[in-house]
Amino acid sequence: MPKILIVEDEVNVSSFIQKGLEEEGYFVDVAYDGALGLRFALTREYDLIVLDVVLPQMNGLEVCRRYREQSGYSVPVLMLTALGSTDDIVVGLDSGADDYLVKPFRFKELNARINAMLRRKSNAHTTPELKFADLVLNLDTITVTRSGREILLTSKEFRLLEFFMNNPRRVLSRTSIFENVWDANYDMNTNIVDVYIKYLRDKIDKDFNSKLIHTVIGMGYVLKEE
């Protein structure tokens, strides 16, 4: 069974999560501060990390950032926080988290998020490179180039572009993007998808004559050549 690391300083919350996950058959480790959580993450093998934002010694954003810098993006990170605005979500995802769950939450929702993230990990695309027009995304090196020029993306921007490149010329609704990139159904009133589409366009389209990401009014977005 998968092994999960919980980094959460609130004992009641960590015990609630640990008990529920162990009843589901997962192996679980718990760290009660950021520094210990980072050490566990870097020295032990995990299939997924559940990481609180507000932690003693080192906050969850810094833990996630350092972990990604040293270990890459192969292990998904689910971030927990009491803050749920679009800006808060963006900050968490930009630190390297794959998904974001706002407290308080039900265990059923947490478990569904974890299952979705683990499925996505196990079903990861086996082709090391995805190509569309002059855009190349390498899943082994976690790099993106366009016309040979390297483009630096955050973890979430990279996953968003990967989803587009796995579905070229197909109109993708915001709901579809939510479910496949964020692994969850966010509140449909949030504009998080539009925020990240803008970020991605600024990086892969802005400095190039040919635009690749297009808006289909009333339907969503599509990756296609002009």
Residue 94 has pLDDT above 60, yes or no: yes
Residue 30 has pLDDT above 90, yes or no: yes
Residue for token digits 């569309």? 132
CA angle, 88 then 64 then 180, to 5° = 65
Q: What is the pLDDT of residues 49-74, one digit of tens each?
A: 999 999 999 999 999 999 988 887 78
* Cβ 99 vs Cβ 78: under 8 Å: yes
Instruction: Tell me the C-alpha distance between 10 and 52, whole Å.
Output: 9
Task: Give the rounded percent of residues in the chain with a pLDDT score beyond 70.
Answer: 93
Residue for token digits 């109109």? 171
Residue for token digits 């998968």? 2
Residues of the chain within CATH 1.10.10.10 domain(s) are 129-223
* Cβ 46 vs Cβ 22: under 8 Å: no
Confidence band for 123, pLDDT divided at 50, 70 and 90? low
CA distances from 201 to 49, 73, 156 (A): 30, 22, 13
Confidence band for 124, pLDDT divided at 50, 70 and 90? low
Task: Give me 63's structure tokens.
Answer: 């833990």
CA angle, 70 then 75 then 77, to 5° = 95
- pLDDT confidence of residue 1: 76
Distance of alpha carbon 54 from its chain centroid, rounded?
Answer: 19
Residue for token digits 């991605």? 200
Residues of the chain within CATH 3.40.50.2300 domain(s) are 3-122
Give the CATH number of domain 129-223: 1.10.10.10
CA distances from 16 to 28, 35, 111, 194 (A): 12, 22, 12, 34
| Residue 178 vs residue 52, higher pLDDT | 52
CA proximity to 97, closest of 140, 59, 145, 144: 59
Class of domain 3-122: alpha beta
Instruction: Tell me the C-alpha distance between 77 and 117, whole Å.
Output: 9
